[in-house]
């Protein structure tokens, strides 16, 4: 029962913070200090798979944007009655998939090459706190951006997709926020707020799928085996993150359309400052 409750707490926190510009990885690292998930060796796998659980909400909510096969109305099929031409490839969806892959590639490549180094040297409380404060300050500053000329996902050019992908690389540092970095990058690259938010949600899925596959492979090839409590913890965490993500994603795009990141900037600065005070008070 303790494993299930712990997993649900992690999952709920992940589902809330994955999509808000407050850094889900940073919050999970901070929560680990007060509620360790069984043992620290398991956390590297657990953290990524719980984030992947949150990402599973994206293909459900954005199914119409992502499914590449269309179907013609019956009135537009062939006159021979054989149903020829009823199904077709949706070109605009295939184009969007191309843009998502272009934007996801930089972070996927850097994460693959530097995964161990990032985890070893940057997954630390002081780093998380510093990034929370730094990006909190940036979120309070006026955003210098290109005119919002892109108001639909199908209008994103390869150049703009690559620009957003470059911003996603920044989120590999814990405490930064993947959604915050990519939405901010979308605004800088000329996307309007709703489009930047939607594109941010979409391009996170392939990155997290790759990260989940990489961590799982390394865990298993390194001789890792899950205990019964760890299986319960992981299942509860992924389910909790998935369900909460479904609820959060339904409202966040509308919020981004009308509001800036200022409130999240204040939250990040306050949280980062509090974490630094507690951390150094503990070690002094």
Provide the pLDDT for residue 211: 84
Looking at the predicted structure, is the pLDDT value of residue 116 above 80?
yes
128 has a pLDDT exceeding 70? yes
pLDDT at 84 over 70: no
Tell me the HSE value of 65 on the side-chain side, using a 13 A CA sphere. Answer: 20
**9 touches 236 (CB < 8 A):** no
Indicate whether 127 pLDDT > 80: yes
Enter the tokens of residue 252. Answer: 């966040």
Q: Would you place residue 13 in the very low, low, confident or very high pLDDT band (cuts 50, 70, 90)?
A: very high
* pLDDT for 87: 82
- Structure confidence by residue, pLDDT tens digits, 160-215: 999 999 999 999 999 999 998 998 899 889 998 889 989 999 998 888 888 888 88
Which secondary-structure segment (H or E) carries 148? none
Residue 80 has pLDDT above 70, yes or no: no
Residue 237 belongs to a domain: yes
* Of residues 28 and 142, more confidently modeled: 28
Residue 109 counted as domain residue:
yes
pLDDT band at 78; cut points 50, 70, 90: low
In a domain, 77, yes or no: no
Structure confidence at residue 219 (pLDDT): 86
**Most confident stretch, 146-150, 236-240, 279-283:** 236-240
Mean per-residue pLDDT, 129-146: 84
Tokens 């949150």 belong to which residue? 54
Number of domains in the chain: 1
Q: pLDDT tens digits for 19-66?
A: 989 999 889 989 988 888 766 668 888 989 999 999 999 999 999 999
**How many angstroms separate the Cα of 122 from the Cα of each of 35, 79, 92, 132, 172?**
20, 64, 39, 13, 9
**Residue 16 domain-assigned (yes or no):** yes
Whether the pLDDT of residue 79 is over 70: the answer is: no
Within a domain: 260: yes
Residue 12 belongs to what domain range? 2-68+84-283
- Is 91 a member of any domain? yes
DSSP 8-state class, residue 191? B
Q: How far apart, in whole angstroms, are the C-alpha atoms of residue 77 and residue 109?
A: 44
Note the pLDDT tens digit of each residue in 228-280.
Answer: 888 999 999 999 999 999 989 888 877 877 777 889 999 999 999 999 998 88
| Stated pTM of the model | 0.85
The pLDDT assigned to 226 comes to: 86
82 pLDDT above the threshold of 60: no
**What integer pLDDT is reported at residue 74 of this predicted model?**
60
Residue 228: inside a domain? yes
76 pLDDT higher than 60: no
Q: Between 2-17 and 228-258, two packed helices, what is the crossing angle to 10 degrees?
A: 20
Q: Is residue 126 assigned to a domain? A: yes
For residues 126-151, average pLDDT: 85
**For residue 144, what pLDDT is reported?**
58
Contact 29, 176 (CB under 8 A): no
Angle between helices 178-188 and 193-221 (to 10 degrees): 140
């Amino acid at each position: 029962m303790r494993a299930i409750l712990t997993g649900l707490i992690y999952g709920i926190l992940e589902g809330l913070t994955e999509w808000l510009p407050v850094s889900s990885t940073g919050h999970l690292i901070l929560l680990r200090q007060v509620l360790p998930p069984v043992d620290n060796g398991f956390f590297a796998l657990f953290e990524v798979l719980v984030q992947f659980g949150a990402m599973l909400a994206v293909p459900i909510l954005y199914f119409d944007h992502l499914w590449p096969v269309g179907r013609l109305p019956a009135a537009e099929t062939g006159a021979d009655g054989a149903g020829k031409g009823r199904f077709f490839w949706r070109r605009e969806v295939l184009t969007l998939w191309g843009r998502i892959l272009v934007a996801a590639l930089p972070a996927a490549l850097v994460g693959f090459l530097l995964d161990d180094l990032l985890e070893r040297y940057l997954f630390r409380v002081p780093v998380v706190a510093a990034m929370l404060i730094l990006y909190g300050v940036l979120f309070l500053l006026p955003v210098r951006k290109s005119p919002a000329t892109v108001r639909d996902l199908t209008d994103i050019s390869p150049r703009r997709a690559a620009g957003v992908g470059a911003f996603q690389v920044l989120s590999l540092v814990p405490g930064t926020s993947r959604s915050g970095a990519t939405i901010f990058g979308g605004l800088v690259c000329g996307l309007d707020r709703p489009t930047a938010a939607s594109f941010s949600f979409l391009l996170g899925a392939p990155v997290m799928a790759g990260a989940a596959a990489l961590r799982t492979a390394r865990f298993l090839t390194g001789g890792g085996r899950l205990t019964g409590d760890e299986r319960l913890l992981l299942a509860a965490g992924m389910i909790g993150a998935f369900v909460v993500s479904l609820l959060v994603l339904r409202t966040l795009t509308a919020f981004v359309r009308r509001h800036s990141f200022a409130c999240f900037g204040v939250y990040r600065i306050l949280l980062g400052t509090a974490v630094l005070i507690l951390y150094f008070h503990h070690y002094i």
